Amino acid sequence: MPEVTPWPEVKVYDTTLRDGTQGEDIVFSVEDKLRITQKLDELGVHYIEGGWPGSNPRDIQYFQEVGAIPLSTAKVVAFGSTRRKGTPPENDANIRALLETKAEVITIFGKSWDMHPLTAMDISLEENLELIAESIAFLKKRVPEVIYDAEHFFDGFRENKEYALATVKAAEQAGADCIVLCDTNGGTLTFDLAEIVRKVKGLIKTPLGIHCHNDADLAVANTIMAVKEGVVQVQGTINGLGERSGNANLCSIIPSLQLKMGIRCLTDDRLRKLKDASRFVNELTNLPHNKHQPYVGDSAFAHKAGVHVSAIRKSPLTYEHIKPELVGNTQRILISDLSGEATVLAKAEEFNIKLQKGDPATKRILAALKELENQGFQFEGAEGSFELLIKKAVGRHKKFFDLLGFRVIVEKRGEESPPFSEATIMVRVGDEVEHTAAEGNGPVNALDNALRKALEKFYPELTEVRLLDYKVRVLSAREGTGASTRVLIESWDGETRWGTVGVSENIIEASWQALVDSIDYKLLKEEEEGVR
């Protein structure tokens, strides 16, 4: 890690609960916001912007309840606007709502771009300066810390530099504790932003912050460059959530500052919680995890090509820019037809299986892998199936049951009635034959239910297994409904997640292959751990 520079510690200001919720498809309940507040505090951020109490009842309720949560590092911030025109601060409903939260920190935003007062607000440029100064001065007499967000600052600076600077000077003279320069439209290029921040830094003595949106895909780069120019507060959201293309992604900003530039943001222990925080917020947004997200994505340290795998086994630095453990992530070796012996050996080592380069078993596994992938199998998301493939090749697999037969029916009675699915199955376990049936909301679900029902009598640990995800991919679309399909299943037993795969021209058969691998993986794991 680089030596710590003489720059002061950078404060992390999270606005997931306010700016993040303005993103499409993102809605947090009050309970969600309270849980995220606790998670952000555990991560170690300095400020948590809880919402805009003057805009909606949900944020009012949040501030009423968040005070009961003990926080160790973070200050909860109430957000709002400057007073309205023609209304003194003491009579302004928005200002009063901010004070009623009893938050120790209040952030208000005002207009820096001369177009907004003249066009959108219908006031003079001088009146806009009065709104900024009077609102900050009024709040500063009543709360310990007031932060001013200079909205549209960079656009305003390009159009009318003197006026944009006059707005932040008004905030400074009124007593703002930090002035945040906002790239609200998210279109400023990094070299332009750096030059503007440098000029402001030479004229303003108040500590500066940066707030970037991602409309040009530069929010992270712009934030980092602003810090290089002397900014001491960074604003952003977990996973870059936010309106339009999102906000600056703190999951990239924090480790880049800390691990690349040596600027302390969090303690090392808290930095290792970064991936956990990222996944936690994703879960509560009910949106799929971005596996390709830098630093915290599942694929961020995943290696597929055989040359890469061979190199990282000698030194991870060959293809990894940081140690994944520093941000709570892990290195992964992916299996595909690009794999070489090094990949197979690395995966076998993960499974506690000793293989040697040039070993006949290694060559058999590699040949089987390439043949199966040529047929349409994919083991990148199905490492459970690949582990079984290796264990079969080295004689460490056990057959837990034999299929004697199954039948799946789908029946629809009338136009308005939903389809009805039922599966009947017969299996042999040892000397016993079990014949049973189950219903489901589809043919695969019915087959899954019937198979578990038949086997749970012999293997009660299967009651722990849940199917988390089920994906179907058509492999040869030109063949229409007769095309081969690949089914990927993700399963979970409360502790471990594993993926399995099946391929067939019949989607039920492909699903059956993946289901059987899922059950085999669980039962083999239990046996090897000595549970049964």
Q: What is the pLDDT of residue 479?
A: 62
| pLDDT, tens digit, 9 for 90 and up, residues 194-251 | 999 999 999 999 999 999 999 999 999 999 999 999 999 999 999 999 999 999 999 9
Residue with tokens 């279109």: 187
> Tokens at residue 257, please?
């500052």
> Tokens at residue 39, please?
């998670």
**If pLDDT is split at 50, 70 and 90, which confidence band does 40 have?**
very high
Contacts of 158 (CB under 8 A, 6+ apart): 192
Q: What is the pLDDT of residue 481?
A: 61
HSE of 417, CA atoms in CB hemisphere, 13 A? 8
Phi, then psi, of 391 in degrees rounded to 5: -70, -30
> From the DSSP assignment, how many helices (H) and strands (E) are in the chain?
18, 16
- Which amino acid, one-letter code, is at 107? T
pTM of the model: 0.70
Is the domain covering 402-528 a CATH 3.30.160.270 domain?
yes
Among 152-156, 177-181, 528-532, whose mean pLDDT is lowest?
Answer: 528-532
**If pLDDT is split at 50, 70 and 90, which confidence band does 482 have?**
low
Q: What is the pLDDT of residue 179?
A: 98
Q: What is the pLDDT of residue 306?
A: 65
> Tokens at residue 278, please?
């990222």
> Tokens at residue 341, please?
């012996």
Contacts of 220 (CB under 8 A, 6+ apart): 212, 214, 240, 248, 249, 252, 253, 256
Q: From CA 15, how far away is CA 279, in angstroms rounded?
A: 17
| pLDDT, tens digit, 9 for 90 and up, residues 385-410 | 988 988 888 888 888 999 999 999 99
**If pLDDT is split at 50, 70 and 90, which confidence band does 5 have?**
very low
| Rounded percentage of the chain residues whose pLDDT exceeds 90 | 61
> Tokens at residue 46, please?
């300095």
Which range is most confident: 117-121, 123-127, 143-147, 388-392?
Answer: 143-147
Q: What is the pLDDT of residue 380?
A: 65
Is the pLDDT at 6 greater than 60? The verdict is no
**If pLDDT is split at 50, 70 and 90, which confidence band does 1 have?**
very low
Q: From CA 303, how far away is CA 320, in angstroms rounded?
A: 10
Determine the distance from the C-alpha atom of residue 494 to the mean position of all C-alpha atoms in its chain, rounded to a whole number: 21
- What are the residues facing 101 on neighbouring strands? none
Contacts of 289 (CB under 8 A, 6+ apart): 279, 282, 297, 298
Determine the distance from the C-alpha atom of residue 133 to the mean position of all C-alpha atoms in its chain, rounded to a whole number: 38
Q: What is the pLDDT of residue 109?
A: 96
> Tokens at residue 489, please?
């299943």
HSE of 154, CA atoms in CB hemisphere, 13 A? 25
- Higher-confidence position of 86 and 286: 86
Q: What is the pLDDT of residue 3?
A: 44
- What are the residues facing 12 on neighbouring strands? 234
Of the candidates 375, 508, 531, 369, the one whose C-alpha atom is nearest the C-alpha of residue 462 is 531
Q: From CA 23, how far away is CA 245, in angstroms rounded?
A: 8
Of the candidates 48, 55, 85, the one whose C-alpha atom is nearest the C-alpha of residue 69 is 48
- Which amino acid, one-letter code, is at 133? A
Q: From CA 92, how far away is CA 54, in angstroms rounded?
A: 10
Phi, then psi, of 66 in degrees rounded to 5: -65, -25
Q: What is the DSSP string of 231-252?
A: --EEEEBGGG--STT-B-BHHH
Average the pLDDT over 148-153 and give the result: 97
Residue with tokens 């600056």: 248
| pLDDT, tens digit, 9 for 90 and up, residues 431-445 | 999 999 999 988 999
Q: What is the pLDDT of residue 381?
A: 67
> Where exactly are the structural domains of the chain?
11-285, 402-528
Average the pLDDT over 22-27 and give the result: 89
> Tokens at residue 384, please?
């459970």
Polymer length of the chain = 532
Of the candidates 290, 193, 191, 276, the one whose C-alpha atom is nearest the C-alpha of residue 240 is 290
Is the pLDDT at 329 greater than 60? The verdict is yes
Contact criterion met (CB below 8 Å) for 208 and 178:
yes
- Higher-confidence position of 293 and 383: 293
Do the domains 11-285 and 402-528 sit in the same CATH topology, yes or no? Answer: no
> Tokens at residue 505, please?
């021209």
Average the pLDDT over 418-423 and give the result: 91
| pLDDT, tens digit, 9 for 90 and up, residues 483-513 | 788 898 888 888 888 889 999 989 999 999 9
Alpha helices (runs of H) in 233-377, residue ranges in sequence order: 250-255, 268-271, 274-285, 306-314, 341-350, 360-375
- Quote the crossing angle between the two packed helices 507-528 and 443-455, to the nearest 10°: 30
- Higher-confidence position of 490 and 79: 79
**If pLDDT is split at 50, 70 and 90, which confidence band does 315 have?**
confident
**Secondary structure of residue 52 in the 3-state scheme:** coil
What value does the mean pLDDT of the chain take?
A: 89
**Secondary structure of residue 402 in the 3-state scheme:** strand
Q: From CA 67, how far away is CA 233, in angstroms rounded?
A: 24
Contact criterion met (CB below 8 Å) for 381 and 302:
no
What topology does CATH give the domain 11-285? TIM Barrel (3.20.20)
